[in-house]
Structure 1
Amino acid sequence: MKKYWLFLIAPLLLSIISCSTTHKITPSATGIGKFQYIGQYVVPHNLSFNGTVVGGLSGIDYDAGRQQYYLISDDRSALNPARFYTAKLYFSDKSFDSVRFTAATTLLQPNGNAYPDSKTNAALTPDPEAMRYNAKKGCLVWSSEGERIVEPKDTVLTNPAVYEISTTGQYIDSFALPTQFRMQATNNGPRRNGVFEGLGFTPGYKYMYVSLEEPRYEDGPRADVRDTTAYTRIIKYNNDTRQPIAQYAYKLEPVAHAAIPENAFKVNGISDIMVLSDHKILTIERSFSSGIKDCTIKVFIADLSNATNVNNINSLQADTHFKPATKTLLIDFASLGKYIDNIEGVTYGPVLPNGHQSLVFVADNNFSAAEESQFFLFEIIP
C-alpha cells in the first residue's frame, strides 16, 4: 500500500539513533516477554546502488546461512526494473551501526524477461510487496498486489499473485489463487492496493500464510476512524503443493487518526506478517491518515488456533457465523517517541552477542524525499 501525502514536508535528514528503552508486552506461548529497542538506521534518500535507486523497501527476510537480508522494492519498474536487494546489517545488542547493500537482482517473468513498467504494459506490471526466503528449498517467494484500474477509457485488471523464484530472480512457479481474490471490474473481490502485503512460512516450511491488507468488497467496509467492523483475511497454503487449504478472518483496528481534511485518504491494514508457529502469526497493522506526518504502527500476535476456516464464506459481512483470529498487542511504535514512517517489513535477525534474538523492521519511503527508508532494531527478551 502506498502512502499519499497531500501536503509538503521539509526533507528529513539521515539519522542513526539508539537507546535502550524497554517495553513490556503481554507474555505469550511464543516466549516473547519484552521488546528492548536498540536503535535505528535511515538509508539516505535516493541512494544509488548498482544502477538502481534504493527505496520502496516493502519486505525483508534474513538468510541465516548466508548471513544476509533480502529486501524487496515496490518499484513497479517505474524507476528501474522490479527488483530485490541483498544487504548486510551491522548491529550489536548496544547499537545499530549501518546497512550495506550487496546486490540488486531483477525479478523475472516466466519468459525470462524483466517486468515492464505500466506505460509499456500495465497488465504485466507487478506491485511487489512481500518476500521470504525458503531455507529448505533454497529459493525465495514474493507477492504482488496486482492492479485494478476501472475507468471508462482504461480498465486494467491484474490478479494478485505469489511467486516462487530462485535467489537469482528466475521464475520457478506460482501459488494457486483462490477465486475470491481475483480482480474484478465490479465492486467485488480485492480492493486496489489492499491485497497481498505479507507472507511467511511455518517452522519446517510445511505451510505458508499470506495476508490480505484490507477487506474484500464482499467482506465489508474498509477500516475507518472509530470503526471496529473491518475484517480482512489470511490464507493458509500447503507449501509443497502450492495450493490454498484454509482462510481465516482477522479483525483490523480502527484508523488511528481522522484525516485532514476529513474526507481525505486514510487507511489501516496488515502491512506484513511473520509466522511464529503453525498457528501464531506476528502481524503489523499500519494506519495512515492524510495530514498526519507519522504512521501508527501496532504489532500483534494473532492466534489462529480456534479461528473458523472461512474458505467457503464469500461475505464476512453477510455471514457473521465465524470466529476470527484472536490477537494480543505487542507494541505500539508511538511508545518510542520517534518519527515512525511506513513500516512494511519484519524479520528475525541473528542472535545478538548477549544471547537474545534480534528483530528488524523496515519502512517503505515510497521514493519520496518527505519519507524515510527506516530500519528499527529490537532485541527480544523471553
Structure 2
Amino acid sequence: MKNSRFFMAAVLIGTLAGCTTTRKTTGNTTGNIGRLQYIGKQVVPYNMPLEGTVTGGLSGIDYDPRSQQYYMICDDRSEHNPARFYTAKLYFSQTSFDSIRFTAVTPLLQANGATYPGNKVNAALTPDPEAMRYNARKGYLVWSSEGERIVNNKDTILTNPGIYEITTAGRYIDSFALPSQFRMQAAEKGPRRNGVFEGLGFTPDYRFMYVSLEEPRYEDGPRADINDTTALTRIIKFDNSTRQAVAQYAYRLEPVAHPATPTSGFKVNGISDIMVLDDNRLLTIERSFSTGVKDCTIKVYLTDLRHTTDVSRYNALKSVKGLRPAEKKLLFDFTALNTYIDNIEGVTYGPVLPNGHRSLVFVADNNFSPLEESQFFLFELVP
C-alpha cells in the first residue's frame, strides 16, 4: 500500500508541476562544459508498482525533447517481469527537483514478436539489458544487452552481447553487427561476464554511435584493482546507416576506489555509461563498488578521442606499440555531494533551463534490492 500511495502522489504532483520552468530543446545540440552544478535528488520507492510490473533496475536513460519524456531501460533479465523499458516525466526548475511521474512500461520484443524468456525458461535467449538511447532522426530506440557467460562444471551458457534497434512500441527492427572480439567464449577469451556493453550514445547528427565496454576483455588485460592503473577497456564506434563497427578505442580505467571487506569480496571499477557530446568527445561515467562499502564511487570524466589509437585490428591491447588511449579529465566526483550514492548507470541531457544552460540527469540502478535505491540526480551544466 505504501508504494501505491507514492505512485498516486507522484501522478498528482506531476500534474500540479506541469508548468515547469524548463524549456524544450530542439535537438541533440552540445556546448561547452565547464562544471556541474547540483540541483537535487529524487528516490523512487522500492518495488513501486506500474502496470503489473515492479520498477527497479533502471540502467539507462535518454530524453526525447519533442515529447518531453524520458526513456529508461530496466536490467531485469525477465526474472521479475519480462524485459522492458519505462517512460517517465521529470518535473524540475533551475533551483529544485520536484517529482517524477512514470507514464508507461513497454516490453522488449524479440524478432519473432515474443517477449524475452527468463533464464529458467531459456537461458540462451535471456537478455541482460543495460543501455538505451532514442534516435530522434529515425524515431526509434537502440538498446544493448551484455549477453551471458556461465562456464562451470554443471553447465556452459554462452550468449553474445548485442545492440538492437527497436520501435518505441518495443518491436524489433534490426541488430548491429558484432565485431569478432566481442563474442562470448568458453575459454578465458573475449568479454568477461557482466562487463560488456554498458553504455551507448549518438553523435549530434546521428551518423555514428559509440558503445562502451564496462570492463577489459580477457586478452586486453586484467580487471581494475586497488592502486592499479593498467586496466584498459574499449569504446566502439558504429556507423548508424550500415550498423557496422568502423573504429575501436582504448580507454584506461581508474583503480578500484576501496578495498573489499573481506579482502576476498567482490570489487569492480568500469564504465557504467557514456554520453556523446560531439563527434569526438564523450562524458564517461566510471562506477566503482567494493563489498563492505555501502556507497558506490561515481566519477564523471570529459573524454576526448581525437588523438586515440584505432585498435580495431588488435585482439590484445597489450600488443599495440605506441598505444594512445583516450584522453580524459575529471569533471565531477559524486562524493562531493555528501549523500548516499548508489549504482549510477545512466546519464542524459534534459531540457534547457531558463538561464539557457543544459540540464543533466543521472539515474541509479537499485538491482531490485531493498538495501539499494532507484535514484535520480539533477544537475545544471555550467559553461
TM-score (norm 2): 0.92
Q: How far apart are the structure 2 equivalents of 1:368 and 1:249?
A: 33
Equivalent residue number for residue 368 of structure 1: 369
C-alpha distance after superposition, 1:65-101 (max 9, x if no partner): 1000000000000000000000000111111111101
Q: CA deviation at 1:266?
A: 0.1
Q: How far apart are the structure 1 equivalents of 2:89 and 2:239?
A: 31
Equivalent residue number for residue 82 of structure 1: 83
Q: CA deviation at 1:253?
A: 0.2
Q: How far apart are the structure 2 equivalents of 1:178 and 1:364?
A: 28
Secondary structure, counterpart of 1:122 in structure 2: helix
C-alpha distance after superposition, 1:182-211 (max 9, x if no partner): 000000000000000000000110000000
Equivalent residue number for residue 296 of structure 2: 295
Q: How far apart are the structure 2 equivalents of 1:176 and 1:196?
A: 13
Which letter does structure 1 place at the counterpart of 2:122? N
Equivalent residue number for residue 190 of structure 2: 189
Matched, 1:266 2:281: no
1:144-183 residue pairs with structure 2 within 5 A? 144-183=145-184
Q: CA deviation at 1:146?
A: 0.1
Matched, 1:143 2:150: no
Equivalent residue number for residue 200 of structure 1: 201
Equivalent residue number for residue 105 of structure 2: 104
Q: CA deviation at 1:32?
A: 1.0
Q: CA deviation at 1:356?
A: 1.5
Q: CA deviation at 1:34?
A: 2.0
Which letter does structure 1 place at the counterpart of 2:156? T
Q: How far apart are the structure 1 equivalents of 2:110 and 2:207?
A: 26
Equivalent residue number for residue 225 of structure 2: 224
Which letter does structure 2 place at the counterpart of 1:126? P
TM-score (norm 1): 0.92
Equivalent residue number for residue 24 of structure 1: none
Q: How far apart are the structure 1 equivalents of 2:241 and 2:302?
A: 26
Secondary structure, counterpart of 2:335 in structure 1: helix
Q: CA deviation at 1:322?
A: 1.4
Secondary structure, counterpart of 2:186 in structure 1: coil
Matched, 1:381 2:367: no
Equivalent pairs, count: 356
Q: CA deviation at 1:30?
A: 4.8
Secondary structure, counterpart of 1:218 in structure 2: coil
Matched, 1:317 2:309: no
Q: CA deviation at 1:319?
A: 3.1
Equivalent residue number for residue 342 of structure 1: 343
Q: How far apart are the structure 1 equivalents of 2:331 and 2:357?
A: 17
Secondary structure, counterpart of 1:180 in structure 2: helix
Q: How far apart are the structure 1 equivalents of 2:137 and 2:278?
A: 16
Which letter does structure 1 place at the counterpart of 2:202? F
Q: CA deviation at 1:153?
A: 1.9
Q: CA deviation at 1:142?
A: 0.1
Q: How far apart are the structure 1 equivalents of 2:230 and 2:31?
A: 28
Q: How far apart are the structure 2 equivalents of 1:185 and 1:69?
A: 38
**Is contact 2:35-2:332 (8 Å) kept?**
no
Matched, 1:40 2:41: yes
Q: CA deviation at 1:328?
A: 0.5
Equivalent residue number for residue 281 of structure 1: 282
Q: How far apart are the structure 1 equivalents of 2:312 and 2:348?
A: 28
Which letter does structure 2 place at the counterpart of 1:168? A
Runs of 4+ in 1 over 6 A off after TM superposition: none
Q: How far apart are the structure 2 equivalents of 1:148 and 1:256?
A: 26
Equivalent residue number for residue 354 of structure 1: 355
C-alpha distance after superposition, 1:104-152 (max 9, x if no partner): 0000000000000000000000000000000000000000000000012
Q: How far apart are the structure 1 equivalents of 2:123 and 2:169?
A: 24
C-alpha distance after superposition, 1:13-55 (max 9, x if no partner): x9x9xxxxxxxxxxxx951112110000000111000000000
Equivalent residue number for residue 94 of structure 1: 95
C-alpha distance after superposition, 1:265-306 (max 9, x if no partner): 000000000000100010000000000000000000110000
Equivalent residue number for residue 13 of structure 2: none
Q: How far apart are the structure 2 equivalents of 1:320 and 1:217?
A: 19
User: What is the Cα-based RMSD across aligned positions, in Å?
Assistant: 1.2
Between 1:221-230 and 1:350-359, the stretch displaced more is 350-359
Which letter does structure 1 place at the counterpart of 2:44? V
Q: CA deviation at 1:246?
A: 0.3
Q: CA deviation at 1:156?
A: 0.3
Q: How far apart are the structure 1 equivalents of 2:321 and 2:290?
A: 29
Q: CA deviation at 1:263?
A: 1.4
Matched, 1:210 2:235: no
Matched, 1:120 2:121: yes
Q: How far apart are the structure 1 equivalents of 2:277 and 2:353?
A: 19
C-alpha distance after superposition, 1:205-238 (max 9, x if no partner): 0000000000000000000000000000000000
Q: How far apart are the structure 1 equivalents of 2:42 and 2:255?
A: 29
Equivalent residue number for residue 307 of structure 2: 306
Equivalent residue number for residue 19 of structure 1: none
Q: How far apart are the structure 1 equivalents of 2:234 and 2:341?
A: 26
Unpaired segments ≥5 residues, structure 2: 1-5, 11-29
Q: CA deviation at 1:321?
A: 2.9
Q: CA deviation at 1:320?
A: 4.2
Unpaired segments ≥5 residues, structure 1: 1-13, 17-28
Q: How far apart are the structure 2 equivalents of 1:94 and 1:282?
A: 24
